[in-house]
Structure 1
Amino acid sequence: MCKRKKGPQYQISPKQQTLTQVYDKATKFKIDDKRQTKITHLVAKMVCVDGQPLNLVENRGFKELIEHLEPRFTMPTRKTLSNVIVPAMYESTVKSVEVQLQDAEFVAVTTDLWTSVANTDFLSVTAHYVTKEFVLHHVCLEVIPFPEVSHTAENISKFITSLLEKWGLLQKVVAIVRDNARNLVAGLELSPFQHTSCLAHTLQLVLKEGFLNNKIINNLVSSSKKIVGHFKHSARATKVLKTCQITAGVVQHRLIHDEPTRWNTTLHMFKRLHEQKKAIVLACAELNIPELSNSLWTLMENVIPILEVFDSVTTHISSDHVTVAEVIPLTNLIENELQKPAPAGSGLQGLKNDLLSSIKIRFKDLENSQILTSATLLDPRFKAAPFKDEAKCEAAKKKTVGGSIRSTNS
């Protein structure tokens, strides 16, 4: 019986494109084409959301990328982007936010008044509210130039009030969180709104008073900065340090310099120096430059855990799910850590006492603030547990049950 031979295998070639299809792929979208509009919107959104410069649409590399992905798309000009597309997106977003805020029964606000590097004063206002489904939302309403020349309490009060009125929030605001600037505090005192200080900003003031102004710590900071500065600004020293890192078997990390306006960078500088101690000692000996004394190394090692308490709290409260209900518990946590005795002979007990004293001064009225006490009592994680003064706790319970936060001045 003979077997039938299989015929040759043929591959089916893709269907040849029509002239119309070829023409369509080479033809630019019309200005009102939905695909042109969609891509234009996404480009503008990327500029806004990612903080990209407006001239991105003029950059050669970006234009080549878009041309490759969609040859039919026509890139908008920078002028069109800034004068037409972005303003239209802003108006659309404003209307969407206004609808969201209409459904919010209560709104909390955070605000800050600051000066840019170009010496322009800006005021920011952010609204925070919970939906009926108990989902927490945050909406930045304004980041706009402060028009008044003088930052008087009256000008600040009028400006913030007018902004909240513009957004229809005058009757919905239950509290405003602000920094400790005297003019901003005084301005909100003149307004009808409850207000409380930002925990992170207050902790920064505590550290400035109790830590950065300490003579022993100042010596440690200045000596550490000299070490870091030498390795940062000398190519030879950097190479020697890398060699010593390999010899000492430590991770090849760069040293960190602190920033005067951010206290936690001092902690980061200390931690990196402590991590690189073996390599730094070897490098300083080879370069014949002074290193930290044994007492300063020991002081640094003992200081790091103290600063880490403040750093962990600051990092925690910087997230977008934290509420003022945590102010009293977190402040108590810091106090409890500072009340623990310092290691014998470390010389840090005085520092701990200074920080604790500053904490007690800065946060002395926590249990008298109806904003904070009501939030703590109503939070099922805490209720009355964090209170130290039973009488104040009972008074807070009565105010919380019997009255509106908005109608009572703390």
Structure 2
Amino acid sequence: MSLSDCVEKNKKWDNNNTKSLVLDNLIGEMIALEHLPFRFVECLGFVRLINRLCPSYNLKSRQYFTSFICEKLYGKVKDKIMELIKSFQKLALTTDIWSDSCSGVSLISFTCHGITNKYERKMIILKAEVFNDGRHTGENIAAKLETMLSSWGIPKENVLCIVRDGGTNMKKGISLLSIKNIDCLSHQIQLVVKEGLTSQESIIAAINKCKKIAPHFHHSNVAQDELVHLQEKLNQPKLEIIQECVTRWNSTFYMLERILKNKDSLCLYASTSNKISQLTSEEWILVEKLITLLQPFEEITRELSAANVSISIFHIMFD
């Protein structure tokens, strides 16, 4: 290797260099496709890898990739998505509003469902952004959804229907747009389940005891280790206690099912430590019956929540 070749090899590329731009694009796509944080490009391991594989490449900061992905890549992807949306003769939409407990903000989602000319089903998440338009009134929801439709060039007459939850504000908001809308079946099923679980005091008491048992093991490594020791002693599988989550469908079922599977070890733990409430024999029987009762609802909800679910599945389930 000549001296000039050696110098050229270790020389950093200019940011406008063709090879550098190709790597910029590949790194940006990797961040987007793998849902990586922008700070990933500044992590020591990634920096070492790039310097080893391509010493000539001048690795950019996370601010560069934030701008690159949000402006250049997003624009290219949006153009392709708009072409795909225009190919749908009719399309359906799903939308929801929820609160993020971590950030303390409300979010609204907007998803498109359609069939191409080649009869391929497509599901595209068009929006998931902060709902900062004041109260969640029907008028504000209608204005937000209309802005979303306009930003993607979707005429209201091309929308077959919008699937939403059963909130009166959502019903009013979509009705103001004069678009056909229907209740989310999974959401309706969960409302029925929730109403049924709060219909009797004995059920409420048993579930509340289980709700107090689960956090005890989640908040204490010592308690978790002791439970594992008891499971080994009783020749039971090492299963963690599942905690209920109010925003997760079927989580009450999963919590009760896991607690019943750990019945012997939990009873032994409660009798020796007095740190959790002991369920009575009647409550254990009730938990077992609740699991049997909730099992079909869990299966139906899981089927209806699948990415490839279609309207035909309703007839199979409910005929």
**TM-score, normalised to structure 1's length?**
0.70
**Does the 8 Å CA contact 1:267/1:304 hold for their aligned counterparts?**
yes
**Does the 8 Å CA contact 2:28/2:68 hold for their aligned counterparts?**
no
**Does the 8 Å CA contact 1:199/1:327 hold for their aligned counterparts?**
no
**Does the 8 Å CA contact 2:32/2:69 hold for their aligned counterparts?**
no
Instruction: Tell me which residue corresponds to 2:120.
Output: 135
- Is 1:224 aligned to 2:210, yes or no? yes
- Is 1:50 aligned to 2:34, yes or no? yes
Instruction: Tell me which residue corresponds to 1:300.
Output: 287
Instruction: Tell me which residue corresponds to 2:64.
Output: 80
Equivalent-residue separation in structure 2 for 1:119 and 1:282 (angstroms)? 40
Q: Indicate how the Cα distance of structure 1 residues 141 and 271 shifts in structure 2: closer, same or farther if over 3 A, else same.
A: same
The percentage of counterpart residues that share the same residue type is: 27
Equivalent-residue separation in structure 1 for 2:22 and 2:199 (angstroms)? 56
Greater shift in the superposed pair: 96-105 or 35-44: 35-44
**Does the 8 Å CA contact 1:227/1:291 hold for their aligned counterparts?**
no
The count of corresponding residues between Structure 1 and Structure 2 is 316
User: Displacement, 1:236?
Assistant: 4.6
User: Displacement, 1:270?
Assistant: 1.3
- Is 1:192 aligned to 2:178, yes or no? yes
SS at match of 1:32: coil
Instruction: Tell me which residue corresponds to 1:164.
Output: 149
- Is 1:150 aligned to 2:135, yes or no? yes
Instruction: Tell me which residue corresponds to 1:66.
Output: 50
Q: Indicate how the Cα distance of structure 1 residues 64 and 285 shifts in structure 2: closer, same or farther if over 3 A, else same.
A: same
Instruction: Tell me which residue corresponds to 2:240.
Output: 254
**Does the 8 Å CA contact 1:122/1:143 hold for their aligned counterparts?**
yes
Give the residue type in structure 2 aligned to 1:255: I
Equivalent-residue separation in structure 1 for 2:10 and 2:76 (angstroms)? 33
Equivalent-residue separation in structure 2 for 1:173 and 1:310 (angstroms)? 30
SS at match of 1:306: helix
User: Displacement, 1:21?
Assistant: 5.6
Give the residue type in structure 2 aligned to 1:150: R
Q: Indicate how the Cα distance of structure 1 residues 115 and 245 shifts in structure 2: closer, same or farther if over 3 A, else same.
A: closer
Instruction: Tell me which residue corresponds to 2:109.
Output: 124
Equivalent-residue separation in structure 1 for 2:220 and 2:120 (angstroms)? 52
Give the residue type in structure 2 aligned to 1:305: T
**Does the 8 Å CA contact 1:31/1:37 hold for their aligned counterparts?**
yes
SS at match of 2:15: coil
Which of the numbers 310, 314, 326 marks the counterpart of 2:301? 314
Instruction: Tell me which residue corresponds to 1:364.
Output: none
**TM-score, normalised to structure 2's length?**
0.89
User: Which of the pair has more CA radius of gyration?
Assistant: 1
Equivalent-residue separation in structure 1 for 2:261 and 2:192 (angstroms)? 27
- Is 1:215 aligned to 2:201, yes or no? yes
Give the residue type in structure 1 aligned to 2:67: N
Superimposed CA distance per residue, residues 253-291 of structure 1 (whole angstroms, 9 cap, x where no aligned partner): 222221233342221111211111222222223325652
RMSD value, Cα: 2.4
SS at match of 2:32: helix
Gaps of 5+ in 1: 1-16, 333-385, 387-410
Greater shift in the superposed pair: 305-314 or 256-265: 256-265
